[in-house]
Amino acid sequence: MTTTMRPIYLDYNASTPVEPAVAEAMRPFLDDAFGNPSSGHWASAPAKAALDRARSQVAALLGAAPDEIVFTSGGSEANNLAIEGTFFELNRPGTHIITSAIEHPAVLAPCRFLERFGASVTYIPVDGTGLIDPEDVRRAIIPQTLLISIMHANNEVGTIQPIAEIGAIARQHGIRFHTDAAQSVGKIPTKVDELGVDMLTIAGHKLYAPKGVGALYVRRGLELEPLIHGAGHESGRRAGTESALLAAGLGTACALAADLAPMKHVEAQRERLWKALQERFNEDVALNGHPTHRLPNTLNVSFVGRIGADILGQLRNVAASTGSACHSGQIELSPVLAAMRVPERIGMGAIRFSLGRHTTADEIDAVVARLATIALS
């Protein structure tokens, strides 16, 4: 007799639930505070105050100044603004950009787009744990290098990059340095001066805020060509009437994210999951990513000789993800695992379990028990 297991969510790297405090902060802007923050009269005052407060909350999380925060529609727009905005602001013959082979598509796609406009791009390789060697970045620099963009932590395997070391190299050469911190904000420290970055991307729905809002930190004094032209919103860096509703949600989420203590609980549950999987499957399960330099909530494992998508298909009522893609009936290895040179027999069995503040030990145990029945069937 089959027992239906209650839904369990282990896909926090894909999206997080909206925290009750975040929803509460947004509520006034669904009810009465509907004014345009740029209007300058009584109806706009609550919205303008909310924007200012949210900007300060985002800045405080990053150790930045409020005027260095640009609200965007999410992480993808923030990445595009950092990369394309730099290119079109500073473009000169032979413009060169450095990024990594395992970036999110919201970084890789803009880089490939700019190659159509004459930019050359170096894609730095990673080792078998997904880690970049900062010296590879140093060796890739040429006189025409305008920008380095390296993610803080990988969304699939959780490997944390040596951003501070790369930032020091960028400063030595006078090159702008951007990091996509969508996966790291709220999980590990992300103070911009400690990281040595000029630009940093935040995505709201990765840290318990709604979808459709994000931010780009832009170090004071840097100019960017806007992606969206119009009136002078966001200090001329992003035209369009700001949403006090979404900004209030992001600001509150950032204020909550300043407390990293909950990550101790999350990391403990991740370790509980990994140890249980090792005990159940021994050499038939393999860790993908760095064993220590990785996000406290992320566990990417391969069930050796299996297909991760097939396992997930049988793991009903459990939300997790696999990096492999299915095209025309053919399953392909995740580009991240391919860049890490993970053998197909291992990589095709990959599943990413990403935990969050609300993950419980009972949920972890239930998932392991269900996996055991699938793997042995």
Place of tokens 């919103």: 233
Q: How far apart are CA 369 and CA 276, in angstroms?
A: 9
Active-site option among 142, 231, 258, 326: 326
Q: Evaluate whether 106 touches 151 at the Cβ level (below 8 Å).
A: no
- Active site (annotated) includes residue 326: yes
Q: Identify whether residues 243 and 352 lie together within a single domain.
A: no
Q: Identify whether residues 199 and 114 lie together within a single domain.
A: yes
Q: Identify whether residues 85 and 182 lie together within a single domain.
A: yes
**What's the longest Cα–Cα distance across the chain?**
69
3-state SS, residue 76: helix
Decide which of 235, 257, 279 is a domain's last residue.
257
3-state SS, residue 345: helix
Q: Identify whether residues 309 and 359 lie together within a single domain.
A: yes
3-state SS, residue 201: strand
Decide which of 257, 287, 315 is a domain's last residue.
257
Range of the domain at 333: 8-16+260-376
Task: Determine, yes or no, domain membership for 58.
Answer: yes
Task: Determine, yes or no, domain membership for 12.
Answer: yes
Both structure tokens of 163: 């951003």
Place of tokens 């995505």: 203
CATH number (domain holding residue 250): 3.40.640.10
| Counted domains in the chain | 2
Q: Identify whether residues 25 and 65 lie together within a single domain.
A: yes
Q: Identify whether residues 59 and 169 lie together within a single domain.
A: yes
Task: Determine, yes or no, domain membership for 163.
Answer: yes
Q: Identify whether residues 277 and 206 lie together within a single domain.
A: no
Tens digits of pLDDT across the chain (377 residues)? 345 578 999 999 999 999 999 999 999 989 887 777 777 787 778 888 999 999 999 999 999 999 999 999 999 999 999 999 999 999 888 899 999 999 999 999 999 999 999 999 999 999 999 999 999 999 999 999 999 999 999 999 999 999 999 999 999 999 999 999 999 999 999 999 999 999 999 999 999 999 999 999 999 999 999 998 988 788 879 988 889 999 999 999 999 999 999 999 999 999 999 999 999 999 999 999 999 999 999 999 999 999 999 999 998 899 999 865 544 456 789 999 999 999 999 999 999 999 999 999 999 999 999 998 886 65
Q: Identify whether residues 238 and 264 lie together within a single domain.
A: no
pTM of the full structure: 0.94
Decide which of 205, 226, 257 is a domain's last residue.
257
Provide φ and ψ at 373, rounded to 5°.
Answer: -70, -35
CATH number (domain holding residue 331): 3.90.1150.10
